[in-house]
Amino acid sequence: MTDKIVIFDTTLRDGEQAPGIALNPDQKVAIAHQLARLGVDVIEAGFPVSSPGDFEAVKRISREVTGPVITALARTEAGDIDRAWEAIKYADMSRIHVFIATSPIHMEHKLRMSEEEVMAAVRTGVARARDYTDDVEYSPEDATRSDPDFVIAVCQTAVEVGATTINIPDTVGFATPSEYASTISRVMTEVKGEREDVVISTHCHNDLGLAVANSLAAVGAGARQVEGAINGIGERAGNTSTEEIVMALTVRKDAYGVEVGVTTEEIVETSRMVAEKTGYPVQYNKAVVGRNAFAHESGIHQHGVLRKRETYEIMDPVSVGFSGSSIVMGKHSGRAAFKHILHGMGIELSPSPFEQAFRRMKRVADQTGEVSEAQMQAIVDEVVTGTEILQGVTESFQ
């Protein structure tokens, strides 16, 4: 039987913590509904104690959004946990996610607590959360810069008092894939052991550009929940990208041997909604959802894709929600692509005019980079009529 990966989406919690993002309750509810349509397993709706607005948003999501488990974040403090439960208790399936840092630098400078005090906080905090719900997650914040033995000890304590998911955060994106996989392997052996009721989870940040790679390494080591955010948004350089991890596990099922329950055709719509509501644009070359993810400008690539899409595309763009591949006219484009674009515009040229138009397209592309459909039409009209009309069209697109 193939294992299923739990997709835990934290767009509305860690994602919203990116500088400059402040979603109102209506926006958070709208995104949560779209995440449910996407089919993520868990939505971390927010950090209820952080503000009245966040409490209200999490409460509304727990009332209005069905399908995924609705989760709220809480420190090990009683007030946090009580507030989290007040916000999520209306959901069909609720989880409280409890965390406290375990690294020396965090314990000394932020918490001002000893290891013994942190251990006691884990014990009382997780137990209090378990009094409210039988679905409790515990995270030792900054785990990858913590003493490994201490991480194992606090995670064992969390499981003893009722945690059912143990998440190992690479909070500052410090780990490498081999290091992170090794940590997960040890947690699998010494914390989960033979217990079927405990899931090991990942939460990786992208400070060194390794968030997705670390998460995949952890899946290979036995983790069965991955935490991420749409478009990879989040603190500093962001989180594991939900859409990238989903498609990596889907496309390379041969390598990882796991299932995901996401409706991948909803990925692009989800990405666009998050970008619009957060004001964080998606970079053009972003994997899976970027404007250029399925766009081809090089003549060699265009020729291959026009013959058989799979020559240069390992994913079908339709499978993630795009309408199809994109052939872009530019200075590297070849005749096959030029003819394809003209055909799509309903234009057929005999050999001589075709060559003239192709050469003119190249000259325009040297000036403007990408040649628009309007410019293509102007090029053809010039060749056919001999009238100088391209200059104005070109200027309007520069």
Q: Are 271 and 313 part of one and the same domain?
A: no
Strands 329-330 and 370-371, bridge-based pairing: antiparallel
Q: What are phi and psi of 204, to 5 degrees?
A: -120, 135
Q: Are 340 and 302 part of one and the same domain?
A: yes
Q: Are 302 and 336 part of one and the same domain?
A: yes
Q: How many CA atoms lie within 13 A of 394 on its CB side?
A: 16
Confidence at residue 395, expressed as pLDDT on a 0 to 100 scale: 47
The strand pairing partners of 141, in sequence order, are: 101
Q: From the centroid of its chain, how far is CA 247?
A: 10
Confidence at residue 2, expressed as pLDDT on a 0 to 100 scale: 84
Q: Are 56 and 95 part of one and the same domain?
A: yes
**CB environment 267-292: b (16+ within 10 A), e (fewer):** bbebbbbbbebbebebeeebebbeee
Q: Are 341 and 264 part of one and the same domain?
A: no
Write out the DSSP string of 261-326. ---GGGHHHHHHHHHHHH--PPPTT-TTTSTTTTEE-SHHHHHHHHH-GGGT-SS-HHHHT-SS-E
CB of 258 within 8 A of CB of 5?
yes
Secondary structure element (H or E) that encloses residue 225, with its range:
strand 225-228
Q: How many CA atoms lie within 13 A of 231 on its CB side?
A: 28
Distance CA 156, CA 163 (A): 9
Reduced to 3 states (helix: H, G, I; strand: E, B; else coil), residue 99 is: strand
Residue 288 lies in a domain: no
Q: Are 104 and 248 part of one and the same domain?
A: yes
Confidence at residue 398, expressed as pLDDT on a 0 to 100 scale: 43
Residue 284 lies in a domain: no
Confidence at residue 389, expressed as pLDDT on a 0 to 100 scale: 52
Q: Which of 116, 64, 119, 120 is nearest to 87 (CA)?
A: 64
pLDDT tens digit sequence for 379-391: 999 998 876 655 5
Residue 187 lies in a domain: yes
Query: Which residues of the chain are modeled with pLDDT < 50?
Result: 393-398
Q: Are 268 and 313 part of one and the same domain?
A: no
Q: Which of 83, 15, 21 is nearest to 44 (CA)?
A: 15
Residue 285 lies in a domain: no
CB of 384 within 8 A of CB of 353?
yes
| Model pTM score | 0.92
pLDDT tens digit sequence for 306-330: 999 999 999 999 999 999 999 999 9
- CATH for 141: 3.20.20.70
Number of domains in the chain: 2
Q: From the centroid of its chain, how far is CA 115?
A: 33
Q: Are 245 and 113 part of one and the same domain?
A: yes
**Final residue in a domain of this structure, among 243, 278, 313:** 278
Alpha-carbon torsion 180, 182, 183, 188, what sign? Answer: positive
Residue 232 lies in a domain: yes
Q: Are 378 and 256 part of one and the same domain?
A: no
CB of 157 within 8 A of CB of 120?
no
Residue 289 lies in a domain: no
Q: Are 55 and 164 part of one and the same domain?
A: yes
Q: Are 220 and 107 part of one and the same domain?
A: yes
Q: Domain range spanning residue 179?
A: 3-278
Residue 206 lies in a domain: yes
Residue 307 lies in a domain: yes
**Final residue in a domain of this structure, among 226, 247, 278:** 278
CA distances from 326 to 259, 302, 340, 365 (A): 29, 9, 11, 17
> From the CB of residue 212, how many other CB atoms can be counted at a distance below 10 Å?
22
Q: Are 146 and 12 part of one and the same domain?
A: yes
